[in-house]
Structure 1
Amino acid sequence: MARDNAQAGKKLVYLAGYGRSGSTVLGRIMSLQKGVLDLGEVVMAPRFLDRPKHYCACGEQLMACRIWSTLPEPLKHLPHTDASLKSHLAMLESIATLTDHEFIIDSSKTARHNAFRPFYLRRHLSYPLQLVHLVRDPRACVWSVIRWRLRGDHVHRHAYQLGVAALTAFSWIGANLAAELYRFCHHEASVRVNYDELLQRGFPDSLKSLGPVGRLEDVVIERNENCHSMGGNEIRNRARVIVEQDTTWKAQIPKSVRILVTALTWPLMLRYGFLQVRR
Protein backbone atom coordinates (compact mmCIF):
# COMPACT_ATOMS: atom_id res chain seq x y z
CA MET A 1 0.00 0.00 0.00
CA ALA A 2 1.44 3.35 -0.99
CA ARG A 3 2.06 5.90 1.74
CA ASP A 4 0.54 9.36 1.69
CA ASN A 5 1.70 12.46 3.55
CA ALA A 6 -0.41 11.63 6.64
CA GLN A 7 1.42 8.35 7.20
CA ALA A 8 4.90 9.56 6.23
CA GLY A 9 7.40 9.13 9.05
CA LYS A 10 5.04 7.08 11.26
CA LYS A 11 5.67 3.64 12.72
CA LEU A 12 3.38 1.09 14.34
CA VAL A 13 4.93 -0.50 17.44
CA TYR A 14 3.10 -3.82 17.87
CA LEU A 15 3.45 -5.43 21.31
CA ALA A 16 3.42 -9.20 20.79
CA GLY A 17 3.45 -12.19 23.12
CA TYR A 18 0.95 -13.34 25.74
CA GLY A 19 -1.38 -11.17 27.81
CA ARG A 20 -0.64 -10.35 31.45
CA SER A 21 2.97 -9.77 30.50
CA GLY A 22 3.06 -6.06 31.35
CA SER A 23 1.91 -4.55 28.06
CA THR A 24 -0.48 -2.09 29.72
CA VAL A 25 2.26 -0.73 31.96
CA LEU A 26 4.73 -0.67 29.07
CA GLY A 27 2.28 1.21 26.85
CA ARG A 28 1.66 3.81 29.54
CA ILE A 29 5.39 4.24 30.09
CA MET A 30 5.88 4.78 26.38
CA SER A 31 3.07 7.34 26.33
CA LEU A 32 5.21 9.59 28.55
CA GLN A 33 7.40 10.29 25.54
CA LYS A 34 6.57 13.06 23.14
CA GLY A 35 5.55 11.63 19.78
CA VAL A 36 4.25 8.32 21.18
CA LEU A 37 0.55 7.45 21.07
CA ASP A 38 -0.58 4.45 23.14
CA LEU A 39 -3.81 2.87 21.85
CA GLY A 40 -3.78 -0.24 24.03
CA GLU A 41 -5.35 -3.35 22.50
CA VAL A 42 -6.78 -2.04 19.23
CA VAL A 43 -8.18 -5.49 18.46
CA MET A 44 -10.62 -4.99 21.36
CA ALA A 45 -11.86 -1.57 20.22
CA PRO A 46 -15.13 -2.77 18.58
CA ARG A 47 -16.28 -4.06 21.97
CA PHE A 48 -16.35 -0.50 23.29
CA LEU A 49 -16.68 1.94 20.39
CA ASP A 50 -20.47 1.57 20.31
CA ARG A 51 -20.62 2.36 24.04
CA PRO A 52 -19.99 6.13 24.04
CA LYS A 53 -20.21 6.41 27.83
CA HIS A 54 -17.28 4.00 28.23
CA TYR A 55 -14.15 5.81 29.38
CA CYS A 56 -10.88 6.04 27.51
CA ALA A 57 -7.59 6.01 29.45
CA CYS A 58 -7.22 9.71 28.65
CA GLY A 59 -10.02 10.34 31.15
CA GLU A 60 -12.69 11.29 28.63
CA GLN A 61 -15.76 9.35 27.56
CA LEU A 62 -15.31 7.82 24.12
CA MET A 63 -17.71 10.35 22.58
CA ALA A 64 -15.33 13.10 23.71
CA CYS A 65 -11.96 11.36 23.20
CA ARG A 66 -9.96 13.25 20.59
CA ILE A 67 -8.80 9.97 19.02
CA TRP A 68 -11.65 7.45 19.14
CA SER A 69 -14.51 9.94 18.67
CA THR A 70 -13.10 11.09 15.34
CA LEU A 71 -13.01 7.66 13.69
CA PRO A 72 -15.29 7.29 10.64
CA GLU A 73 -18.83 6.29 11.64
CA PRO A 74 -18.69 2.78 10.09
CA LEU A 75 -15.74 1.94 12.36
CA LYS A 76 -17.71 3.01 15.45
CA HIS A 77 -20.47 0.48 14.84
CA LEU A 78 -18.66 -2.78 14.22
CA PRO A 79 -19.87 -6.10 15.70
CA HIS A 80 -19.18 -6.27 19.45
CA THR A 81 -16.29 -8.69 19.18
CA ASP A 82 -12.59 -8.55 18.40
CA ALA A 83 -11.80 -6.57 15.29
CA SER A 84 -11.45 -8.42 12.02
CA LEU A 85 -8.15 -8.05 10.20
CA LYS A 86 -9.63 -5.52 7.78
CA SER A 87 -11.33 -3.39 10.43
CA HIS A 88 -8.19 -3.50 12.59
CA LEU A 89 -6.19 -2.24 9.63
CA ALA A 90 -8.79 0.43 8.86
CA MET A 91 -8.67 1.78 12.43
CA LEU A 92 -4.87 2.03 12.40
CA GLU A 93 -4.90 3.75 9.00
CA SER A 94 -7.58 6.20 10.12
CA ILE A 95 -5.83 7.03 13.39
CA ALA A 96 -2.58 7.68 11.54
CA THR A 97 -4.34 10.48 9.66
CA LEU A 98 -5.76 11.95 12.89
CA THR A 99 -2.53 12.38 14.79
CA ASP A 100 0.93 13.80 14.30
CA HIS A 101 2.53 11.26 16.67
CA GLU A 102 5.51 9.44 15.18
CA PHE A 103 4.94 6.14 17.02
CA ILE A 104 1.58 4.39 17.43
CA ILE A 105 1.49 1.64 20.07
CA ASP A 106 -0.84 -1.33 19.55
CA SER A 107 -0.71 -4.00 22.28
CA SER A 108 -3.05 -6.52 20.62
CA LYS A 109 -0.39 -9.24 21.12
CA THR A 110 -0.24 -12.68 19.44
CA ALA A 111 -2.33 -14.98 21.61
CA ARG A 112 -4.80 -17.40 20.01
CA HIS A 113 -6.57 -15.92 16.95
CA ASN A 114 -4.21 -12.91 16.97
CA ALA A 115 -1.21 -15.12 16.26
CA PHE A 116 -0.72 -14.00 12.66
CA ARG A 117 -2.24 -10.52 12.95
CA PRO A 118 1.12 -8.69 12.80
CA PHE A 119 1.94 -10.54 9.54
CA TYR A 120 -1.25 -9.18 7.98
CA LEU A 121 -0.73 -5.67 9.30
CA ARG A 122 2.87 -5.56 8.11
CA ARG A 123 1.82 -6.57 4.62
CA HIS A 124 -1.08 -4.12 4.26
CA LEU A 125 -0.32 -1.19 6.55
CA SER A 126 0.84 1.96 4.78
CA TYR A 127 3.53 2.65 7.37
CA PRO A 128 6.21 0.37 8.91
CA LEU A 129 5.58 -2.10 11.73
CA GLN A 130 8.09 -2.66 14.53
CA LEU A 131 7.30 -5.76 16.57
CA VAL A 132 8.23 -5.81 20.26
CA HIS A 133 8.03 -9.34 21.64
CA LEU A 134 7.29 -8.89 25.33
CA VAL A 135 8.00 -11.95 27.50
CA ARG A 136 7.24 -12.63 31.15
CA ASP A 137 7.71 -15.72 33.29
CA PRO A 138 4.79 -18.08 32.44
CA ARG A 139 4.31 -18.89 36.12
CA ALA A 140 3.60 -15.22 36.81
CA CYS A 141 1.19 -15.06 33.85
CA VAL A 142 -0.61 -18.24 34.91
CA TRP A 143 -1.06 -17.12 38.50
CA SER A 144 -2.39 -13.76 37.30
CA VAL A 145 -5.00 -15.54 35.20
CA ILE A 146 -5.97 -17.86 38.05
CA ARG A 147 -6.44 -14.96 40.46
CA TRP A 148 -8.59 -13.14 37.89
CA ARG A 149 -10.70 -16.01 36.58
CA LEU A 150 -11.17 -18.12 39.68
CA ARG A 151 -12.25 -15.61 42.27
CA GLY A 152 -14.24 -16.63 45.33
CA ASP A 153 -14.62 -20.28 46.23
CA HIS A 154 -13.16 -21.56 42.97
CA VAL A 155 -9.73 -20.12 43.69
CA HIS A 156 -9.34 -22.72 46.43
CA ARG A 157 -10.32 -25.68 44.25
CA HIS A 158 -7.22 -27.52 43.22
CA ALA A 159 -8.66 -29.06 40.04
CA TYR A 160 -9.77 -25.66 38.76
CA GLN A 161 -6.34 -24.21 39.35
CA LEU A 162 -4.58 -27.00 37.49
CA GLY A 163 -7.03 -26.89 34.59
CA VAL A 164 -6.68 -23.16 34.12
CA ALA A 165 -2.91 -23.43 34.57
CA ALA A 166 -2.61 -26.00 31.77
CA LEU A 167 -4.79 -24.05 29.34
CA THR A 168 -2.98 -20.80 30.09
CA ALA A 169 0.43 -22.44 29.73
CA PHE A 170 -0.46 -23.77 26.26
CA SER A 171 -1.80 -20.35 25.25
CA TRP A 172 1.41 -18.74 26.53
CA ILE A 173 3.45 -21.16 24.42
CA GLY A 174 1.38 -20.46 21.30
CA ALA A 175 1.51 -16.68 21.70
CA ASN A 176 5.27 -16.65 22.13
CA LEU A 177 5.91 -19.11 19.28
CA ALA A 178 3.86 -16.85 16.99
CA ALA A 179 6.02 -13.89 17.99
CA GLU A 180 9.15 -15.99 17.49
CA LEU A 181 7.99 -16.89 13.99
CA TYR A 182 7.51 -13.24 13.13
CA ARG A 183 10.96 -12.42 14.48
CA PHE A 184 12.42 -15.25 12.38
CA CYS A 185 10.77 -13.90 9.22
CA HIS A 186 11.38 -10.20 9.91
CA HIS A 187 14.31 -10.08 12.27
CA GLU A 188 15.33 -6.59 11.17
CA ALA A 189 12.03 -5.12 12.39
CA SER A 190 11.56 -6.93 15.69
CA VAL A 191 13.06 -7.14 19.15
CA ARG A 192 12.41 -9.31 22.20
CA VAL A 193 12.35 -7.79 25.69
CA ASN A 194 11.94 -9.39 29.11
CA TYR A 195 9.39 -7.38 31.10
CA ASP A 196 11.10 -7.75 34.48
CA GLU A 197 14.53 -6.96 33.04
CA LEU A 198 13.00 -3.94 31.31
CA LEU A 199 11.87 -2.55 34.66
CA GLN A 200 15.28 -3.18 36.21
CA ARG A 201 17.54 -2.01 33.39
CA GLY A 202 15.42 0.25 31.19
CA PHE A 203 14.84 0.24 27.46
CA PRO A 204 17.39 -1.47 25.19
CA ASP A 205 19.23 0.66 22.65
CA SER A 206 16.87 -0.36 19.84
CA LEU A 207 13.91 1.13 21.76
CA LYS A 208 15.56 4.16 23.39
CA SER A 209 13.29 6.62 21.58
CA LEU A 210 10.20 4.99 23.09
CA GLY A 211 10.88 5.42 26.78
CA PRO A 212 12.65 7.33 29.54
CA VAL A 213 16.33 6.78 30.25
CA GLY A 214 17.36 4.37 33.00
CA ARG A 215 15.51 1.80 35.10
CA LEU A 216 11.75 1.97 35.06
CA GLU A 217 10.93 0.83 38.59
CA ASP A 218 9.44 3.67 40.64
CA VAL A 219 8.70 5.74 37.53
CA VAL A 220 5.51 7.72 38.11
CA ILE A 221 3.00 7.63 35.26
CA GLU A 222 0.46 10.45 35.26
CA ARG A 223 -2.62 10.41 33.05
CA ASN A 224 -1.70 12.16 29.83
CA GLU A 225 -3.06 13.00 26.40
CA ASN A 226 -0.91 10.36 24.67
CA CYS A 227 -2.61 7.38 26.32
CA HIS A 228 -5.90 6.21 24.74
CA SER A 229 -6.37 2.59 25.77
CA MET A 230 -9.98 1.51 26.19
CA GLY A 231 -9.64 -2.16 27.18
CA GLY A 232 -7.31 -4.53 28.99
CA ASN A 233 -5.79 -4.21 32.45
CA GLU A 234 -7.74 -1.95 34.81
CA ILE A 235 -4.66 0.15 35.61
CA ARG A 236 -5.15 1.83 32.24
CA ASN A 237 -7.74 4.13 33.86
CA ARG A 238 -5.78 5.07 36.97
CA ALA A 239 -4.81 8.72 36.99
CA ARG A 240 -1.48 7.94 38.63
CA VAL A 241 0.56 4.73 38.59
CA ILE A 242 3.91 4.01 40.22
CA VAL A 243 5.76 1.34 38.27
CA GLU A 244 6.86 -1.59 40.41
CA GLN A 245 7.68 -5.24 39.91
CA ASP A 246 5.04 -7.74 40.96
CA THR A 247 6.82 -10.67 42.57
CA THR A 248 3.96 -11.72 44.85
CA TRP A 249 3.24 -14.68 42.58
CA LYS A 250 6.44 -16.37 43.74
CA ALA A 251 5.08 -16.71 47.26
CA GLN A 252 1.42 -17.28 46.35
CA ILE A 253 1.50 -19.78 43.49
CA PRO A 254 0.86 -23.36 44.70
CA LYS A 255 3.73 -25.78 44.25
CA SER A 256 1.63 -28.11 42.06
CA VAL A 257 0.76 -25.25 39.68
CA ARG A 258 4.38 -24.14 39.54
CA ILE A 259 5.53 -27.68 38.69
CA LEU A 260 2.84 -28.17 36.03
CA VAL A 261 3.56 -24.87 34.28
CA THR A 262 7.30 -25.49 34.37
CA ALA A 263 6.86 -28.99 32.94
CA LEU A 264 4.77 -27.66 30.05
CA THR A 265 6.80 -24.56 29.19
CA TRP A 266 10.41 -25.37 30.12
CA PRO A 267 11.92 -25.16 26.61
CA LEU A 268 10.82 -21.54 26.21
CA MET A 269 11.56 -20.80 29.85
CA LEU A 270 15.16 -21.85 29.20
CA ARG A 271 15.28 -19.75 26.03
CA TYR A 272 14.04 -16.65 27.85
CA GLY A 273 16.17 -17.14 30.95
CA PHE A 274 13.38 -18.03 33.38
CA LEU A 275 15.06 -21.33 34.27
CA GLN A 276 18.65 -21.57 35.41
CA VAL A 277 20.48 -24.82 34.66
CA ARG A 278 22.93 -25.72 37.38
CA ARG A 279 26.15 -27.30 36.23
Structure 2
Amino acid sequence: MSTYTAEPTIVYIAGYGRSGSTLLDILLNAHPYIFGAGELTEIFEAAAARTPCSCGQPLDACAIWSYVLNHLPAHTTPAEAEHLTRRTETPRWLGGSPRNDEAYGLLWRTIFQAIAHQTGARMVLDSSKNSRNTAERTAALIRTTHLPVRIIHLVRDPRAILYATFRGSNRRLEQEGHAPTRRTAMLRVLIGWMMAHATVERTRAAYPHIPVKRIRYEDLTGTPALTLQQIGGFLNIDMQPVINRLHTGAPFEGGHGIGGNRMRRAGAVHIRADRAWEQALPRYAHLLAWATWPLAHRYAYDLAHPNSAPQGAST
Protein backbone atom coordinates (compact mmCIF):
# COMPACT_ATOMS: atom_id res chain seq x y z
CA MET A 1 0.00 0.00 0.00
CA SER A 2 1.05 3.60 -0.48
CA THR A 3 2.35 5.55 2.48
CA TYR A 4 1.94 9.13 3.64
CA THR A 5 4.85 10.34 5.72
CA ALA A 6 3.40 13.53 7.27
CA GLU A 7 1.66 13.45 10.64
CA PRO A 8 -1.98 12.41 10.14
CA THR A 9 -4.84 14.63 11.21
CA ILE A 10 -7.31 13.06 13.62
CA VAL A 11 -10.87 13.79 12.55
CA TYR A 12 -13.00 12.90 15.56
CA ILE A 13 -16.76 12.32 15.30
CA ALA A 14 -17.98 13.48 18.70
CA GLY A 15 -21.43 13.17 20.23
CA TYR A 16 -23.83 10.38 21.18
CA GLY A 17 -24.55 7.01 19.58
CA ARG A 18 -27.33 6.29 17.07
CA SER A 19 -26.76 9.69 15.49
CA GLY A 20 -25.47 8.60 12.09
CA SER A 21 -21.77 8.31 12.86
CA THR A 22 -21.44 5.01 10.98
CA LEU A 23 -23.07 6.56 7.91
CA LEU A 24 -20.83 9.63 8.09
CA ASP A 25 -17.75 7.44 8.56
CA ILE A 26 -18.62 5.37 5.48
CA LEU A 27 -19.26 8.47 3.35
CA LEU A 28 -16.03 10.20 4.32
CA ASN A 29 -14.07 6.97 3.92
CA ALA A 30 -14.86 7.21 0.20
CA HIS A 31 -12.53 10.21 -0.03
CA PRO A 32 -8.98 9.28 -1.09
CA TYR A 33 -7.42 11.39 1.68
CA ILE A 34 -9.52 9.92 4.52
CA PHE A 35 -9.49 6.53 6.23
CA GLY A 36 -12.67 5.73 8.17
CA ALA A 37 -11.44 3.74 11.17
CA GLY A 38 -14.82 3.34 12.82
CA GLU A 39 -15.02 3.22 16.62
CA LEU A 40 -11.28 3.06 17.05
CA THR A 41 -11.38 3.00 20.83
CA GLU A 42 -12.72 -0.57 20.56
CA ILE A 43 -9.69 -1.93 18.69
CA PHE A 44 -8.22 -3.94 21.56
CA GLU A 45 -11.52 -5.38 22.76
CA ALA A 46 -12.44 -6.29 19.18
CA ALA A 47 -9.07 -7.95 18.64
CA ALA A 48 -9.38 -10.01 21.83
CA ALA A 49 -12.91 -11.13 20.92
CA ARG A 50 -11.90 -11.73 17.28
CA THR A 51 -14.72 -9.44 16.23
CA PRO A 52 -14.39 -8.98 12.47
CA CYS A 53 -13.44 -5.80 10.70
CA SER A 54 -16.15 -4.60 8.33
CA CYS A 55 -14.13 -6.28 5.56
CA GLY A 56 -15.17 -9.58 7.16
CA GLN A 57 -11.77 -10.63 8.50
CA PRO A 58 -10.79 -10.78 12.18
CA LEU A 59 -8.57 -7.84 13.05
CA ASP A 60 -5.46 -10.01 13.28
CA ALA A 61 -6.10 -11.21 9.71
CA CYS A 62 -7.03 -7.84 8.19
CA ALA A 63 -4.16 -6.27 6.26
CA ILE A 64 -4.68 -2.90 7.95
CA TRP A 65 -5.50 -3.82 11.54
CA SER A 66 -2.96 -6.64 11.82
CA TYR A 67 -0.29 -4.11 10.82
CA VAL A 68 -1.52 -1.61 13.43
CA LEU A 69 -1.70 -4.21 16.20
CA ASN A 70 1.83 -5.36 15.36
CA HIS A 71 3.17 -1.82 15.69
CA LEU A 72 2.15 -0.93 19.23
CA PRO A 73 4.78 0.76 21.38
CA ALA A 74 7.48 -1.60 22.61
CA HIS A 75 6.54 -3.89 25.50
CA THR A 76 2.85 -2.87 25.29
CA THR A 77 0.41 -5.78 25.03
CA PRO A 78 -3.13 -5.31 23.67
CA ALA A 79 -4.51 -6.08 27.14
CA GLU A 80 -2.34 -3.36 28.69
CA ALA A 81 -3.33 -0.95 25.94
CA GLU A 82 -7.04 -1.65 26.58
CA HIS A 83 -6.61 -1.06 30.32
CA LEU A 84 -4.70 2.18 29.75
CA THR A 85 -7.32 3.38 27.26
CA ARG A 86 -10.32 2.66 29.47
CA ARG A 87 -8.83 4.22 32.59
CA THR A 88 -7.93 7.38 30.67
CA GLU A 89 -11.12 7.80 28.64
CA THR A 90 -13.62 6.96 31.39
CA PRO A 91 -14.42 9.85 33.76
CA ARG A 92 -13.28 9.33 37.34
CA TRP A 93 -16.85 9.39 38.66
CA LEU A 94 -17.77 6.56 36.26
CA GLY A 95 -14.88 4.35 37.31
CA GLY A 96 -11.87 5.86 35.57
CA SER A 97 -8.56 5.72 37.40
CA PRO A 98 -5.54 8.02 37.58
CA ARG A 99 -4.33 8.51 34.03
CA ASN A 100 -0.90 8.15 32.51
CA ASP A 101 -0.89 10.81 29.81
CA GLU A 102 2.59 10.00 28.57
CA ALA A 103 1.84 6.32 27.97
CA TYR A 104 -1.62 7.02 26.55
CA GLY A 105 -0.30 9.68 24.21
CA LEU A 106 2.51 7.43 22.95
CA LEU A 107 0.07 4.54 22.43
CA TRP A 108 -2.49 6.46 20.42
CA ARG A 109 -0.01 8.60 18.50
CA THR A 110 1.64 5.35 17.40
CA ILE A 111 -1.71 3.86 16.38
CA PHE A 112 -2.76 6.85 14.29
CA GLN A 113 0.65 6.99 12.64
CA ALA A 114 0.53 3.26 11.86
CA ILE A 115 -2.91 3.64 10.27
CA ALA A 116 -1.73 6.54 8.13
CA HIS A 117 1.43 4.66 7.13
CA GLN A 118 -0.45 1.52 6.11
CA THR A 119 -3.37 3.23 4.34
CA GLY A 120 -1.70 6.32 2.90
CA ALA A 121 -4.43 8.48 4.45
CA ARG A 122 -3.80 12.09 5.42
CA MET A 123 -6.74 12.05 7.82
CA VAL A 124 -7.85 9.25 10.13
CA LEU A 125 -11.53 9.37 11.02
CA ASP A 126 -12.34 8.13 14.53
CA SER A 127 -16.07 7.74 15.26
CA SER A 128 -15.72 6.64 18.89
CA LYS A 129 -17.98 9.51 20.09
CA ASN A 130 -18.36 10.45 23.79
CA SER A 131 -20.60 7.98 25.57
CA ARG A 132 -19.75 6.81 29.09
CA ASN A 133 -16.44 4.90 28.61
CA THR A 134 -15.27 7.31 25.90
CA ALA A 135 -16.45 10.56 27.48
CA GLU A 136 -12.89 11.86 27.88
CA ARG A 137 -11.42 10.42 24.68
CA THR A 138 -11.60 13.58 22.59
CA ALA A 139 -9.87 15.67 25.24
CA ALA A 140 -7.29 12.94 25.87
CA LEU A 141 -6.32 12.73 22.20
CA ILE A 142 -6.00 16.51 21.99
CA ARG A 143 -4.00 16.71 25.21
CA THR A 144 -1.58 13.84 24.69
CA THR A 145 -0.97 12.79 21.08
CA HIS A 146 0.41 16.11 19.77
CA LEU A 147 -1.34 15.38 16.46
CA PRO A 148 -3.64 17.87 14.74
CA VAL A 149 -7.28 17.24 15.71
CA ARG A 150 -10.50 18.41 14.10
CA ILE A 151 -13.86 17.63 15.67
CA ILE A 152 -17.09 16.93 13.83
CA HIS A 153 -19.82 17.31 16.43
CA LEU A 154 -22.65 15.11 15.16
CA VAL A 155 -26.10 15.67 16.67
CA ARG A 156 -29.52 14.11 16.13
CA ASP A 157 -32.99 14.89 17.41
CA PRO A 158 -33.24 13.31 20.88
CA ARG A 159 -36.69 11.98 19.99
CA ALA A 160 -35.17 9.97 17.16
CA ILE A 161 -32.63 8.59 19.63
CA LEU A 162 -35.50 7.62 21.94
CA TYR A 163 -37.25 5.81 19.12
CA ALA A 164 -34.08 3.88 18.34
CA THR A 165 -34.01 2.88 22.00
CA PHE A 166 -37.68 1.91 21.88
CA ARG A 167 -36.90 -0.47 19.02
CA GLY A 168 -34.03 -2.04 20.97
CA SER A 169 -30.23 -2.22 20.80
CA ASN A 170 -28.44 -2.68 17.50
CA ARG A 171 -27.25 -6.11 18.60
CA ARG A 172 -30.74 -7.23 19.62
CA LEU A 173 -32.23 -5.85 16.41
CA GLU A 174 -29.75 -7.87 14.38
CA GLN A 175 -30.61 -11.03 16.30
CA GLU A 176 -34.30 -10.66 17.12
CA GLY A 177 -35.86 -7.76 15.25
CA HIS A 178 -38.15 -5.45 17.27
CA ALA A 179 -37.13 -5.28 20.94
CA PRO A 180 -39.13 -2.76 23.03
CA THR A 181 -37.31 -1.11 25.90
CA ARG A 182 -38.54 0.09 29.30
CA ARG A 183 -39.32 3.73 29.93
CA THR A 184 -36.55 3.91 32.53
CA ALA A 185 -34.06 2.87 29.84
CA MET A 186 -35.31 5.76 27.71
CA LEU A 187 -34.62 8.16 30.55
CA ARG A 188 -31.10 6.79 30.89
CA VAL A 189 -30.59 7.32 27.17
CA LEU A 190 -31.72 10.94 27.43
CA ILE A 191 -29.29 11.50 30.30
CA GLY A 192 -26.55 9.91 28.17
CA TRP A 193 -27.47 12.16 25.22
CA MET A 194 -27.21 15.26 27.39
CA MET A 195 -23.97 14.16 29.03
CA ALA A 196 -22.31 13.28 25.72
CA HIS A 197 -23.12 16.62 24.12
CA ALA A 198 -22.28 18.54 27.30
CA THR A 199 -18.88 16.80 27.19
CA VAL A 200 -18.36 18.01 23.63
CA GLU A 201 -19.30 21.55 24.63
CA ARG A 202 -16.92 21.39 27.59
CA THR A 203 -14.07 20.11 25.39
CA ARG A 204 -14.77 22.86 22.89
CA ALA A 205 -14.49 25.47 25.64
CA ALA A 206 -11.35 23.92 27.14
CA TYR A 207 -9.51 23.76 23.80
CA PRO A 208 -10.71 26.80 21.81
CA HIS A 209 -7.88 26.39 19.29
CA ILE A 210 -9.29 23.05 18.10
CA PRO A 211 -11.60 23.46 15.06
CA VAL A 212 -15.14 22.14 15.62
CA LYS A 213 -17.93 21.74 13.07
CA ARG A 214 -21.45 20.83 14.20
CA ILE A 215 -23.38 18.62 11.77
CA ARG A 216 -26.94 17.34 12.16
CA TYR A 217 -28.04 13.88 11.11
CA GLU A 218 -31.10 15.45 9.51
CA ASP A 219 -28.91 17.63 7.29
CA LEU A 220 -26.58 14.76 6.43
CA THR A 221 -29.46 12.58 5.21
CA GLY A 222 -31.66 15.38 3.86
CA THR A 223 -29.09 17.43 1.93
CA PRO A 224 -26.02 15.17 1.83
CA ALA A 225 -24.18 16.96 -0.99
CA LEU A 226 -24.46 20.34 0.70
CA THR A 227 -23.47 18.88 4.07
CA LEU A 228 -20.45 17.16 2.53
CA GLN A 229 -19.41 20.45 0.93
CA GLN A 230 -19.54 22.08 4.37
CA ILE A 231 -17.44 19.28 5.84
CA GLY A 232 -14.98 19.62 2.97
CA GLY A 233 -14.60 23.34 3.72
CA PHE A 234 -14.05 22.50 7.38
CA LEU A 235 -11.38 19.89 6.57
CA ASN A 236 -9.83 21.98 3.77
CA ILE A 237 -10.31 19.25 1.17
CA ASP A 238 -12.41 18.98 -1.97
CA MET A 239 -15.31 16.60 -1.30
CA GLN A 240 -16.29 16.40 -4.98
CA PRO A 241 -15.13 12.75 -5.35
CA VAL A 242 -17.64 11.74 -2.67
CA ILE A 243 -20.38 14.04 -3.98
CA ASN A 244 -19.94 12.58 -7.45
CA ARG A 245 -20.70 9.14 -6.05
CA LEU A 246 -23.88 10.54 -4.56
CA HIS A 247 -24.95 12.04 -7.88
CA THR A 248 -24.30 8.84 -9.81
CA GLY A 249 -26.04 6.68 -7.23
CA ALA A 250 -22.93 4.57 -6.71
CA PRO A 251 -23.09 2.59 -3.45
CA PHE A 252 -20.71 3.19 -0.56
CA GLU A 253 -18.89 0.26 1.01
CA GLY A 254 -18.24 -0.42 4.68
CA GLY A 255 -14.46 -0.23 4.27
CA HIS A 256 -12.28 -1.39 7.17
CA GLY A 257 -14.11 0.12 10.13
CA ILE A 258 -14.18 -1.19 13.68
CA GLY A 259 -17.52 -1.44 15.47
CA GLY A 260 -20.45 0.64 14.31
CA ASN A 261 -23.98 -0.55 13.69
CA ARG A 262 -25.28 -3.23 11.33
CA MET A 263 -25.15 -0.75 8.41
CA ARG A 264 -21.40 -1.29 8.17
CA ARG A 265 -21.85 -5.04 7.76
CA ALA A 266 -24.81 -4.88 5.36
CA GLY A 267 -22.78 -4.50 2.17
CA ALA A 268 -23.42 -1.54 -0.15
CA VAL A 269 -24.77 1.50 1.70
CA HIS A 270 -27.19 4.09 0.34
CA ILE A 271 -28.29 7.24 2.14
CA ARG A 272 -31.79 7.06 3.57
CA ALA A 273 -33.24 9.31 6.23
CA ASP A 274 -34.80 7.41 9.14
CA ARG A 275 -37.76 9.51 10.27
CA ALA A 276 -40.06 6.71 11.42
CA TRP A 277 -40.01 8.15 14.93
CA GLU A 278 -42.19 11.08 13.85
CA GLN A 279 -45.24 8.82 13.59
CA ALA A 280 -44.33 5.90 15.82
CA LEU A 281 -42.78 7.41 18.95
CA PRO A 282 -45.20 7.10 21.92
CA ARG A 283 -46.56 10.31 23.41
CA TYR A 284 -44.91 9.68 26.78
CA ALA A 285 -41.53 9.54 24.98
CA HIS A 286 -42.19 12.95 23.42
CA LEU A 287 -42.77 14.25 26.95
CA LEU A 288 -39.61 12.59 28.24
CA ALA A 289 -37.62 14.30 25.49
CA TRP A 290 -38.23 17.65 27.16
CA ALA A 291 -35.54 16.64 29.65
CA THR A 292 -33.00 17.48 26.95
CA TRP A 293 -33.91 21.15 26.77
CA PRO A 294 -32.01 23.54 26.48
CA LEU A 295 -29.36 21.56 24.56
CA ALA A 296 -32.00 20.39 22.08
CA HIS A 297 -33.02 24.01 21.61
CA ARG A 298 -29.37 24.99 21.13
CA TYR A 299 -29.16 22.45 18.31
CA ALA A 300 -32.38 23.83 16.74
CA TYR A 301 -34.75 20.98 17.61
CA ASP A 302 -38.28 22.20 18.33
CA LEU A 303 -39.55 19.79 20.97
CA ALA A 304 -42.98 21.42 21.00
CA HIS A 305 -43.85 19.96 17.61
CA PRO A 306 -43.76 16.18 17.15
CA ASN A 307 -42.92 16.28 13.45
CA SER A 308 -40.62 19.28 13.40
CA ALA A 309 -37.54 19.23 11.23
CA PRO A 310 -34.59 21.26 12.60
CA GLN A 311 -34.38 24.81 11.43
CA GLY A 312 -31.19 26.75 10.65
CA ALA A 313 -27.78 25.74 9.40
CA SER A 314 -25.16 23.51 10.97
CA THR A 315 -22.38 25.50 12.61
Residue 268 of structure 1: aligned partner: 295
Give TM-score scaled by structure 1 length: 0.83
C-alpha distance in 2, partners of 1:163/1:217?
A: 43
Q: 1:114 to 1:140 in 2, by over 3 A?
A: same
**Residue 258 to residue 139, structure 1, CA distance change in 2 (3 Å):** same
Rounded Cα–Cα distance in structure 2 between residues aligned with 1:69 and 1:58: 13
- 2:293 partner letter: W
Task: Report what 1:21 is aligned to.
Answer: 19
Q: Secondary structure at the match of 2:48?
A: coil
Q: Secondary structure in 1 aligned to 2:182?
A: helix
- Consecutive unaligned residues in structure 1, runs of 5 or more: none
Contact kept in structure 1, 2:154 and 2:214, CA below 8 Å = yes
One-letter code aligned to 1:183: R
The alpha-carbon deviation at position 123 of structure 1 amounts to 1.8
Displacement of 1:141 in angstroms is 1.1
Matched, 1:202 2:222: no
Q: Which deviates more, 186-195 or 70-79?
A: 70-79
Residues 242-251 or 215-224, more deviating: 215-224
Query: Which of these residues, 239, 247, 268, is aligned with residue 275 of structure 2?
Result: 247
User: What is the RMSD of the two structures over their aligned residues, measured on CA atoms?
Assistant: 3.1
Show the counterpart of 1:190.
Answer: 212
Deviates more, 1:137-146 or 1:76-85: 76-85
2:52 maps to 1:55: yes
1:238 aligns with 2:266: yes
Unaligned runs of 5+ in 2: 89-103, 306-315
- After superposition, give the CA deviation of every residue in 1:12-65 in whole Å (9 maximum; x if it has no partner): 10000001000000000001111110110011112211344x321134342331
Q: Which of 119, 123, 141 is matched with 2:139 structurally?
A: 119
Change (3 A) 1:198 1:222: closer
In the TM superposition, residue 217 of structure 1 has moved relative to its aligned partner by: 9.4
Match status 1:101 vs 2:121: yes
Distance 2:185 2:143 in 1: 35
Give the fraction of aligned pairs with identical amino acids, expressed as a percent: 27
Mapped to 2, the partners of 1:79 and 1:185 lie a distance apart of 29
Could you say if the C-alpha distance between residues 141 and 276 of structure 1 is closer, same or farther in structure 2, counting changes exceeding 3 Å?
closer
Compared CA separation, residues 176 and 60, structure 1 to 2 (3 A): same
Q: Number of matched residues?
A: 267
Deviations 1:190-211 (A, max 9, x none): 1111121123132213246374
CA contact (8 A) 2:152 2:214 kept: yes
Matching of residue 129 in structure 1 with residue 146 in structure 2? no
Matched with 2:191 is: 170
